[in-house]
Structure 1
Amino acid sequence: MYRLFSRCKTNKLKRVFSHALDASIKNEGVAQQRKRQVLPRRHRKLHKLTIREENEEGLRDFLPPKPVVPTGWKLEHAKGSNRFDLRKSVEIRDCGKEHLHAVAMMEVKEYEGTYRMDNGEREEEEYLFFTLFVQKNRFPGALEFGLTSIDMELVMDSLAIHNNREELEDAYGALSVSTSRDGISNRIIEKSNLSCRSCRDNRYRGPMLSELDDDFSDEILDYLDERGVNNGFAEYMMAQAHFFEQEEYINWIRLLRQFAQ
C-alpha cells in the first residue's frame, strides 16, 4: 500500500513538473514570437513611405520625358551608375572614318551649394559637364573636348590633343572609362585612376580657348557641328541626364524598400 501511494505521488509530481515545463516552453515560444513580430515594426513606416513616394512620383505631371537619342548615336547606361555614354562613327569626306565617344556624369549633389526656390526651380542655371573623344583610323591618338551644356547651348571649355594610344588611355583612365568597347585594356587595369590622372595632367592640356581668336574658336565649333555635336546635342545631353537621374532615384527608392521589408 505504501509503495502504491509513493508511486502515485511520484507520478503526480512528474505530471506537475511536466505541465510546468510545457507552460514555460510555451511562454518562451510566445515571447520569442512576439519579439519577431515587434522587431519588423521599426521599419514598417519606412517601408510604407517608400511605397507612397514611388506612387507619388508616378503621378507627377512634370517628370522628365524619355529623350530621343540623336540619329547615329548609340546610348549606353548601366543601372545604378551615375554615368552614361554615347558612341557614334561617322565617315567624313577627305578625313576617313572617325569614332566619337561622349562621356557624361549625372549631377553630383553638393548640398551646401545647391539651393531651390519655393516652386522647386533652381536659383542658378543648370549645367552639365561632359567629355567628347574623337578618334580616327589614320591617327594613333585622339582629340579630347571638355564641353558644357548650359541654357540649351554648347560651350567649349578645353581641347587636348593626345598624340598616341598611351596618352589616350591615360585620359580615359582618369575618367575611369575604357578605351575599348569590349572591356578595359590591360594597361588601365594596371594603373589606378589617380595615376592616370597624374600622367594626364602632367601633359599640356591646350590653351585657354577664350583667349583664341574668334575665327579659330568658331572653326573648332564648326568642326564639332559637322559631326553632330552642337547646341541641339547639348540640349539632349541635359535632358538625358535629367531622365536618368529620375530613373536612378526610383531605383534608389525600390532598393530602400527592399531593405526595409
Structure 2
Amino acid sequence: MTPALRPLLAGNWKMNGTASALATLDAIAEGITRLPDVFDTLLCTPATLVHRAASAAKASRIQIGGQDCHTGQAGAHTGDVSADMLADCGAHFVIVGHSERRADHAETDGLVCRKAQAAIASGLTAIICIGETGGEKAEGKTLAVVERQLLKSVPDSATAQNVVIAYEPVWAIGTGLTPTVEDVASVHRFIRDHLAARFGAEGAGMRLLYGGSVKGANAHELMAIDHVDGALVGGASLKADDFLAIARAFPALAKA
C-alpha cells in the first residue's frame, strides 16, 4: 500500500440485487464494525437500490456509490441516470469506464472522461477503471493501454479527493485468474508515476485500487503490494462472508 493513504475496499454489485439484497448490506455493515476503523468501505449498488442502500447504511461505516452515470446532469436521455441523481439518492462515489461498459456499450476513453467530469461536478468521487484485455496482454501492450486510458479517461480536474483509479486487467475479471504480484506491482508503480508526473502531489495522493478475482485467499498478498491502496471487488461483494474475508486483510496490513 501507499504510506499515508487510507485504503478503500469497494464492492461492485453489477446488475445484481433487489430489495432483499439489502440484508447483505446489513450483514457487511455489521461485520465491518467488528474490524478496526483503518480503511473505507464502499458498495456500488444498482441504481434502483442506491437510495435505499444509502438510507440503510447511514449509521454504518459503509458508503454507497453508483455504477455509471450520464455525461449530462439532465435532459432527454431516456433510461439514463445522471450524477446529480445519484448524489441526490445519497451516493458519494460512482464507477465510470468499467470494462463491461467499455465492451458492452462501446464506451470510449473520451466518453469515460466526460462521465468522470460530470461526477466531479456533482460532488461525487469518480472511480475510473482501466485495464488491458487478454489479447493486449499477450501482445505486450499492457503499459501502453494503461497509459492511453490514463491520458484520455482521467480529466484535468482530477484530484486526490475526487478521483480513484481502479486497475482491472480485463482477462482477470470473474475468471479466477490473477496477475502475478510482480505484474500488479509493475502496473501500479507505472500508474503512480504517471499520475504524479501529471498531477504532482494530487497524483501522488490518488488511491489506486486493484480489481480482478480478488478474494479472501489472495487479498492480503495483493493489498500488501506497493501502491495498491485497496480493491474493487465484483462477485465476492455479493456475499457478506466473502466480502468480509477480504476486509480482514486491511487491519492486518495496517499493523505491518
TM-score (norm 1): 0.24
Larger Rg: 1
The structure with higher relative contact order (CA 8 Å, sep 6+) is 2
User: Which is strand-richer, 1 or 2?
Assistant: 1
